[in-house]
Amino acid sequence: MPLVIYRSHRTERLARALSRHLSTSTFDPFDTLRVVVGSRGMEQWLRQQFASHNGICAQVRFPFPRQAIDEAIGLSDALYGPEGVVRDQRHLIGLVIKAMRQIRDKAELQQGLSLVNSYIGQSTDASEPVNALELTLATEIAEELDALIRKRPDVASAFVHSEYPEGGWFGALTRELLGDIDPWQVRLQRWQQICCGESCQRGHLHVFGLSALGGDDLTQLGMLAKMPDFVVSLYLLQPSPMSTADEATAAGVFHSLSKELRKGLVNAITISDQEAALALVHEQNHPLLAGFGRLNADSERLLGGIVEALELEVYEHELFDGAGHTDIDDRSQSVLSRLQQGLLQASQLPSLPLMDDDRSVTFHPCFGPTRQVEMLRDLIEHAFASHDGGSPLMPRDVLVMTPDIPTFGPLVEAVFSRHPAIAVQVSDLALQANNPFARALSTLLSIANDRMTLSIAMELMEISVVQAQFGLNDQEVQRAADLLTDAGARWGFDADDRTRAGQPSQHQHTIDFALERLVLGSMCSDEMHVITSGHPTTPHLHAPMARSGLEEGPLIGKIVRVLETIRWHVAEIRKGPRPAQQWLSLCLNALDELTAVGDRQGWLWTQTVDAIEGMLPEIDDVELSFDALQQTIKTQFDRGSGGGRPIAGAVTLCAMEPMRSVPFRVIALLGMDDGAFPRAHIGRAWSPMEGSTRLGEHQRRDVDLHLMIEAVLSARQRLMVLWSGHDPQTGTELPPASPINVLREAVDNAMHADTEHISASDALSFASTLHPWAKDNHTSIGRQYRPEQPLSFEPSLSAAESDNLAKPGLEFGQTPVRETQIDTQSLAKVLQNGARALLRNRVGIRDPWLQTGREDREPFSLGSQHDSLAIELAEQLLVAPATDQQALIQHHFDVANASGYLPHGAAAQSAWQQVTNSAAQFIEARDKVFADCHVTSESAVRSRVQVSRRQGQFGMITSRETRLDQCSMSGSQTKTILWRVIGKKWSDRALGRCWLDLLVFAASRRGDDRIDGLLVSDAKSTIWLKAPTQAKASELLENALEIYDLCHDKPVALFPVASSTLARKLIEVHPWTTGPVESVIDGIIESWATEPDWRRRKLIRDIRTAFVGNSRSSFFDLAEASVRRCFDLEDFDRALPESGPIDPQGWMRMALRVWGEAINAGSKVSSKNLQGFVKASMEAT
């Protein structure tokens, strides 16, 4: 029967030809048509095409090549032999392990095997469990052996007959494994049976789009086409109808192939140096074919040789332009159209002028992977908004391909989910990236392998199927994380678990320690109570967890259930080596008890179970170690999904793999960095296939180069290429991948720019900036071409040119949610650094080093707990009788120790002594402040200060760190003074927080209550903040909330150090006066404008010094990633001009609005004059 070949440069035409065959064929309606595809994504697209053309797609199967050929032959593959020596890959791995252990004692192989044994760390004991290295090596050997017998059975036959002098231990392993079975003879016998019509099934096999088929597959398809009553149809995507091999090359291939076929050695064809030196005709004329056409040329040469050697009857159908098809729009003459026409004609077309609005092919060098994805999102949004009268571009029309899915998959999902969100479907991710059951099992095994930490326990609890099993939700999991952290959980289930890790047997900061505190806290109302257990000589102290009352009881019960289930399964896993089937049962049982299968998650459960069952080797009487199990599962779960891409209304992101040439209107190539693409071939030095290449055997580099042609042919409207063109840290220019330079050369040959000094590829290069809000994104750019032309914010240029957009700043489409309650700590953080608040709340970007995370190590010092413990102890000592103070100090020590705040052992006493000394210093500072005064102290308050804004009214909630002291002297009225102790040194950050607290107290007082001021004491000094009137405090809070809202709308010029320094310097030169705030600020700015030049230069120098900082301090503005993302350094030069008007929304005004009143109200009080200052304040009217 014949071999039917359809060739076209358009996948749609091939699909239409196949659809017509389906609609006109007369095969049995109950029979199944087989269409061979290279990926599940291609299957999905073909199903859609068949249903669109014929109205239905039924009774069609889409097997992969090897499966389809084996089914058509009707016999098992040569590797497995006629008697089924090997059942599948799992069985083969088990046989390899046994064979490796059986050839250890052969003297002639000791030199090679000694290196293998030293690598896998294996002894000569054959009953020793299989470790991870041995299993990994056996898997690689099985893969290599499978490829050797399928692609080069003549070499495997030589191994069996000891005819291969360099076989070494691999040859001995092959002989041991295959025994008397000669794979070459098995193959010949199989084909003899097929030629006689004994074993071949009747039917029709359609092979669609497999332009990268290997030589072995093509040969077997040719043999099938030779059989009676069997038809093979090839639908090949080919860039050009021109012959891909000249007559001399075809004749040489035919001569070699027919000779080898007559010998029965069809796979022994090699690519000689003479054949490799023969230049293809079209390679001399088109750079894309010359650079990327090797794989197509090899396949065509091999196919031509097979046809001639087997004397096949061939029917060829060419579905190219010029044969009644005109899909390419010749009128547009876009860059993409010219590239495709050049490929079609296999020649360089005359260069045409580049049109001004041509965006069919663009190049985008960016600052790192994140900016690549951000730039890609901007380009796609721009494409959605700029369709030219035709059908609008939809997300389903966009394909993004990348050679690095693990890096760009999560980035694309994160960036595309920002408002306004763009639907995206990421395929080819690892199994555990898409499957919660696989992720749960992988996390459990990592706990068993290493140590149980709080962070990894919370990772497991955050998985949706685990939450469903134990009745948790996201809010409860977050609350559970807070409870366990506050209870002191760090790592280890218990003291014995810590001993297993080689650490001291310490109960403190284990999971059991935290659970005990939580359970006691739910039953005991007194958080200062301490319970003693254990032996009297070595008692265990248990402090109930504060704030885990009865209302937390149900949640604590769920936490205990989850952690105890994890503990039990980890203990079972750690018991030691097991046979593979027992490991399988153990994993399935763990999944069954840890996870719950939802209504629409059954397929995910089945996918995980199938993956586990299909990866463990079949080995009888040999156990697997735990590290071998974990390595196998990790390898399986980290493997890509293999091209499954559901047809959905979303942007598709997939890996760059061959035979996926589905047409899309827009195709983007992401991550095309130098070194990342084309991907290098990873060889195995011990493989007999390494070092030589036969015709039809494809290297990874050749496959990747072929993908560039497939991408150009599959794009219909636009092709976008993105890479890291600049180092994000230094700005150093980086080159793209070498195939991109070839593509740029093809663009330069096809088109030319209007300007002589710039090439077409440079004119189509649109570089991204370092961050999305760089000034270049908001400046008017003409339509002239130039390299480094920013394109990502082109739709917003007109808005940026208007006067109502402040600089720096960018309006966002998303309307932020206005909180009804804002605690003063959050308010102070936003006023000190508005850029960070904008990125976090509006765009979803967080500074990596600002992520607190969960601490997995127990404290070695008190750290931040020191001040809170000292202040709490001081508050209790102030109201306790003198006779009870020592007992009170000891009780607080027991509570702190039982709560896990203190270090272990003798260091606890030393740390507590420092706490006691600090508490004494706080009390001494207070006594100095209020000496000679009668003080009535209210009880210490426990909640934060919060600003509640409802209809212009401010509610007051007091602060834990602030004490209200009623002070009175004879002959003077009673005063209310706030007293605060801060553990750290006084700074402008502390000033901002304390000032806001004072404003809340002053604005929210009722009746005749009066707040006179706030005394803030640190270890060395005391600061007095004078309270404003109630009306003034309300006005200042309104101003603070207005700026808070503005910081969520656009980048506002407020900086952690520079803003307060600027305000302080301006007030030193022009003192703050009384009156409305805006009037005072206007007066300072007007006075500043008339200052002498030398004073302005001095102020700018002082500000720049504070702004840039020095190497000894890490708290300067340029160290803030949020500031770098939103502003450029030269923006500050525009914000502080030496002359001329000041921008009303600029840096100077914002600094004075936030810091002016606070700086004016504050004054430092020396310790010597502290008592006199308080007396003077008390006596003042």
What CATH class does 363-428+652-678+715-801 carry?
alpha beta
Give percent of the chain with pLDDT exceeding 70. 67
Quick: pLDDT tens for 497-519.
Answer: 888 888 888 888 889 888 888 88
Is it the case that residue 201 has pLDDT exceeding 70? no
Is it the case that residue 741 has pLDDT exceeding 60? yes
d(CA 161, CA 226): 31
Mean pLDDT check: name the lowest of 811-825, 925-939, 956-970: 956-970
The arithmetic mean of pLDDT across residues 945-963, rounded, is 47
Looking at residue 29, what is its pLDDT?
67
Instruction: Name the pLDDT band for 1014 (thresholds 50, 70, 90).
Output: confident
The arithmetic mean of pLDDT across residues 1011-1021, rounded, is 71
Quick: pLDDT tens for 343-384.
Answer: 887 777 788 888 888 888 999 999 889 999 988 998 888 888
Instruction: Name the pLDDT band for 667 (thresholds 50, 70, 90).
Output: very high
b/e per residue 660-682 (b: at least 16 CB within 10 A): bbbbbbbbbbbbbbeebbbbeee
**Residue type (1 letter), 762:** D
Residue 366 is classified by DSSP as E
Is it the case that residue 942 has pLDDT exceeding 60? no
Is it the case that residue 105 has pLDDT exceeding 90? no
d(CA 652, CA 380): 12
Please name the residue that has the structure tokens 């490991």. Answer: 583
Looking at residue 878, what is its pLDDT?
74
Looking at residue 271, what is its pLDDT?
42
Is it the case that residue 272 has pLDDT exceeding 50? no
Quick: pLDDT tens for 20-70.
Answer: 888 777 666 677 888 888 877 788 888 888 888 888 888 888 888 877 887
d(CA 361, CA 343): 15
**Residue type (1 letter), 882:** A
Give percent of the chain with pLDDT exceeding 90. 7
101 or 258: which carries more pLDDT confidence? Answer: 101
Looking at residue 1100, what is its pLDDT?
67
Quick: pLDDT tens for 782-820.
Answer: 333 333 334 443 333 333 333 322 333 334 444 555 666
Is it the case that residue 857 has pLDDT exceeding 80? no
* Measured distance between the N- and C-terminal CA atoms of the chain, rounded to whole angstroms: 114
Dihedral pair phi/psi, residue 299, rounded to 5°? -65, -40
Calculate the alpha carbon distances from 123 to 98, 114, 130 in Å: 14, 10, 11
The arithmetic mean of pLDDT across residues 238-261, rounded, is 49
829 or 536: which carries more pLDDT confidence? Answer: 829
Would you state the structure tokens that stand for residue 408, as one six-digit string? 């760009």
> Which of 363-367, 518-522, 632-636 has the highest mean predicted lDDT (pLDDT)?
363-367
Looking at residue 719, what is its pLDDT?
93
Quick: pLDDT tens for 563-584.
Answer: 999 999 999 999 888 888 888 8
Return the CA Rg of the chain.
38
Reduced to 3 states, what is the DSSP secondary structure of residue 539?
strand
Is it the case that residue 1142 has pLDDT exceeding 60? no
Looking at residue 1179, what is its pLDDT?
53
Looking at residue 798, what is its pLDDT?
33
**What CATH number does the domain located at 3-74+200-318 have?**
3.40.50.10930
The arithmetic mean of pLDDT across residues 1062-1083, rounded, is 84
DSSP string, 661-710: ---EEEEEE---BBTTBSPPP---TT-TTTT--BTTPPPHHHHHHHHHHH
Is it the case that residue 280 has pLDDT exceeding 90? no
Mean pLDDT for the chain overall = 74
Is it the case that residue 668 has pLDDT exceeding 90? yes
Angle, CA of 88, 92 and 95, to the nearest 5°: 140
The arithmetic mean of pLDDT across residues 71-85, rounded, is 55
What CATH class does 431-638 carry?
mainly alpha
Spell out the residues 6+ positions from residue 614 whose beta carbon is closer than 8 angstroms to its own: 90, 636
**Residue type (1 letter), 476:** E
Dihedral pair phi/psi, residue 1058, rounded to 5°? -65, -35
d(CA 721, CA 670): 6
**Which pTM does this prediction carry?**
0.71
Quick: pLDDT tens for 435-462.
Answer: 899 999 999 999 998 889 988 999 999 9
Quick: pLDDT tens for 639-659.
Answer: 766 555 555 678 888 888 765
Strands 821-823 and 424-426, by their bridges, are: unpaired
Looking at residue 682, what is its pLDDT?
78
The arithmetic mean of pLDDT across residues 541-555, rounded, is 71
Is it the case that residue 1143 has pLDDT exceeding 50? no
Looking at residue 330, what is its pLDDT?
46
The arithmetic mean of pLDDT across residues 1091-1117, rounded, is 61
